[in-house]
């Protein structure tokens, strides 16, 4: 222990050793399932997310550095996944692809990076709250190696939720800071929520539900000191400002036309919810994609037994864990919520995100309450828990090969050398409602077919052609109809506004007359441009606030002194 204290006091060596441990665990936690023998588990969402990465690579290669439409999907017909599924955090993987790394290897390197950052972020988030290196390390290990998170990484390949879990501790510690009275540090909640929004909208929504529960549990503090409420409001407004470039373009497209996500409900919570015994069995067997983990369930029971001995925050986290565990089961009457916003979470076991966060934080902070107050017991706790987590991770990885179905889902890296561009996720949610037609996206449908059209070409999202027709001619582009496409003609010709085709349904069509050259491209919308400006201004203002309130720089101190003098 004395050696550990000496190392801890030497910060460069301490963090070198700490980050080296995190890197080893980042690789080891997925090595036997995703790296060994260069094989990947064919997770439910992996092809969709690899398609997102490939589409971003394609956009950057063509000079479109902030794309709204993914032209990899549907062989180039364009899918607005970028508008509804932000790709801000996908750039490292896309840049690896541009550097010539294969899609499978880019994905693995990217996952290792996410694992590493999850270790680092969770450690520093807890340390920011408790200033205890040992407890911070325990939280980092418990959280990053949690069964539910590993099932997301290995089994489901739920990249959006994995990224959300990476940044979730930032939002959580920001919420704690405001409620605890350090409300001038509201920006941690803002930054965390903005990153959550950019990672996975469903997880952001679930965390908002948790925020409501947590604020209700702390209503007395909010009533006693109104400043907390004021800065919660400021955090909310600043979050909206930061995510404006994603939020408002999304709302614009939903208002512009009916999409499948609005009309074709595929998931019902009452059908996907399971009993507690089912989740307990999964935890016991350490298998499956909705595995909350036996360790956290056992700890939950132990803390319930010793609830009188834990802190007020500990009681709140325990209550939240039990509540969200209950919400994950079929004991909750989800049949009454089929047509509500709650159904957008698709699967009740997504609430395990909150259970995992709260229980890992509670165990790290209050485990000493459950243990005998003896030094040797306290010293052995962290190594033993670390060992349990590592062994559990190894068993989970080896357990993927236990059934015939799962063996068939283990494929070599080469399986992904040719991605299927028609894999859009289960719901194909962001297609125009009723869209089913497929055709070559480099072709054209012309009515009447006798119209003279020549020199048809396409480069990325720009299509050009020459036409000659005295009568009105309908040109139908095999590009999916979204707001933001533009068309113009040169020569003795006229062109109509872009409309949505009816037969076949959901493409972009125009009517032209005369003789001229037509250019069709995706320009974006005014809302998209204004929203990007709002986000940029919000980011600059937030950065200035952070520097003004926390800067140790001499110049900043002078500026603050001048402001005070003027006041």
Residue 16 burial (CB count, 10 A): 12
Q: What is the pLDDT of residue 534?
A: 97
DSSP string, 15-57: HHHHHHHHHHHHHHHHIIIIIGGGEEE--TTHHHHHHHHHHHH
Any bridge partners for residue 459, and if so which? 462
Tokens of 351: 């609430």
Domain ranges, ordered by start, for the chain: 146-257+525-567, 445-524
- Write down the residue that tokens 């050793």 correspond to: 17
d(CA 251, CA 269): 24
d(CA 326, CA 357): 15
- Write down the residue that tokens 């974006």 correspond to: 524
What is the torsion angle, in degrees rounded to the nearest 10, for the CA atoms of residue 351, residue 352, residue 358 and residue 361? -150
Q: What is the pLDDT of residue 335?
A: 87
Residue 224: phi, psi to the nearest 5? -70, -35
Residue 536 burial (CB count, 10 A): 14
Q: What is the pLDDT along the chain (567 residues), one digit of tens a residue?
A: 455 556 667 778 889 999 999 999 999 999 988 998 898 888 888 999 999 999 999 999 999 999 999 999 998 999 999 999 999 999 999 999 999 999 999 999 999 999 999 999 999 999 999 999 999 999 999 999 999 999 999 989 999 999 999 999 999 999 999 999 888 999 999 999 999 999 999 999 999 999 999 999 999 998 888 899 999 999 999 999 999 999 999 999 999 999 988 888 777 888 889 999 999 998 988 887 889 999 999 999 999 999 999 999 999 999 999 999 999 999 999 988 887 888 888 899 999 999 999 999 999 999 988 876 667 666 777 888 888 888 888 888 777 765 544 567 888 999 999 898 988 887 788 999 888 877 777 788 888 887 889 999 999 999 999 999 888 899 999 999 999 999 999 999 999 999 999 888 899 999 999 999 999 999 999 999 999 999 999 999 999 999 988 765 544 455 445 545 544
Nearest to 80 by CA among 326, 424, 344: 424
Q: What is the pLDDT of residue 556?
A: 46
Q: What is the pLDDT of residue 559?
A: 46
CA torsion through residues 199, 202, 207, 212, sign: positive
Tokens of 310: 């834990």
Q: What is the pLDDT of residue 566?
A: 46
CA torsion through residues 317, 190, 556, 567, sign: negative
d(CA 424, CA 58): 17
pTM confidence score = 0.92
Contacts of 187 (CB under 8 A, 6+ apart): 174, 235, 238, 542, 545, 546
d(CA 122, CA 100): 32
Going by the DSSP 8-state scheme, the letter that residue 58 receives in this structure is H
Range 171-184 burial, b when 16+ CB lie within 10 A, else e: bbbbbbbbbeeebe
Residue 165 · residue 149 · CB < 8 Å: yes
């Amino acid at each position: 222990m004395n050696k550990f204290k000496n190392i801890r006091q030497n910060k460069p060596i301490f963090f070198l050793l700490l980050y080296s441990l995190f890197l080893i665990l980042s690789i080891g936690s997925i090595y036997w399932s995703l790296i060994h023998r260069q094989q990947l588990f064919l997770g439910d969402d992996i092809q969709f997310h690899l398609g997102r990465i490939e589409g971003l690579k394609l956009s950057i290669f063509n000079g479109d550095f902030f794309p709204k439409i993914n032209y990899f999907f549907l062989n180039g017909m364009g899918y607005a996944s970028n508008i509804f599924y932000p790709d801000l955090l996908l750039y490292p993987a896309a840049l690896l692809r541009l550097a010539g790394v294969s899609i499978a290897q880019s994905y693995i390197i990217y996952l290792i990076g996410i694992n590493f950052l999850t270790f680092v972020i969770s450690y520093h988030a807890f340390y920011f709250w408790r200033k205890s290196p040992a407890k911070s390390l325990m939280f980092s290990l418990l959280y990053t190696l949690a069964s539910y998170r590993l099932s997301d990484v290995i089994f489901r390949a739920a990249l959006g939720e994995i990224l959300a879990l990476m940044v979730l501790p930032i939002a959580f510690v920001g919420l704690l800071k405001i409620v605890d009275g350090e409300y001038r540090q509201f920006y941690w909640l803002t930054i965390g929520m903005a990153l959550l929004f950019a990672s996975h909208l469903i997880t952001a929504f679930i965390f908002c539900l948790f925020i409501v529960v947590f604020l209700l549990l702390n209503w007395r503090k909010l009533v006693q000191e109104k400043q907390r409420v004021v800065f919660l409001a400021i955090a909310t407004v600043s979050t909206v400002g930061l995510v404006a470039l994603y939020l408002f373009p999304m709302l614009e497209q939903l208002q512009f036309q009916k999409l499948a996500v609005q009309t074709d409900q595929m998931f019902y919570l009452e059908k996907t919810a399971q009993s507690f015994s089912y989740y307990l069995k999964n935890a016991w067997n350490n298998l499956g994609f909705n595995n909350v983990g036996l360790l956290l369930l056992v700890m939950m029971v132990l803390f319930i037994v010793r609830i009188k001995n834990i802190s007020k925050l500990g009681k709140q986290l325990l209550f939240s864990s039990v509540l969200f565990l209950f919400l994950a089961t079929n004991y909750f009457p989800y049949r009454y919520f089929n047509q509500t916003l709650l159904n957008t979470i698709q699967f009740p076991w997504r609430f395990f995100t909150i259970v995992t966060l709260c229980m890992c934080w509670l165990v790290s902070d209050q485990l000493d309450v459950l243990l005998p107050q003896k030094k040797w017991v306290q010293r052995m706790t962290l190594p033993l828990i670390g060992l349990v987590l590592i062994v559990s991770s190894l068993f989970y990885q080896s357990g993927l090969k236990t059934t015939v179905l799962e063996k068939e889902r283990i494929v070599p890296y080469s399986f992904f050398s040719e991605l299927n561009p028609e894999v859009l996720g289960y719901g194909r949610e962001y297609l125009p409602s009723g869209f089913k037609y497929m055709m070559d996206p480099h072709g054209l449908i012309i009515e009447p077919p006798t119209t003279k059209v020549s020199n048809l070409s396409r480069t990325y999202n720009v299509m050009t052609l020459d036409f000659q027709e005295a009568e009105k001619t309908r040109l139908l582009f095999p590009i999916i109809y979204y707001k933001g496409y533009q068309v113009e003609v040169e020569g003795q010709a006229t062109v109509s506004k872009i409309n949505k085709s009816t037969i076949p349904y959901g493409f972009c069509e125009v009517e032209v007359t005369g003789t001229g050259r037509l250019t069709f491209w995706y320009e974006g919308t005014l809302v998209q441009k204004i929203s990007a400006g709002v986000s940029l201004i919000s980011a600059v203002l937030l950065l200035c606030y952070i520097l003004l309130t926390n800067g140790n720089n001499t110049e900043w101190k002078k500026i603050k002194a001048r402001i005070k003098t003027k006041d």
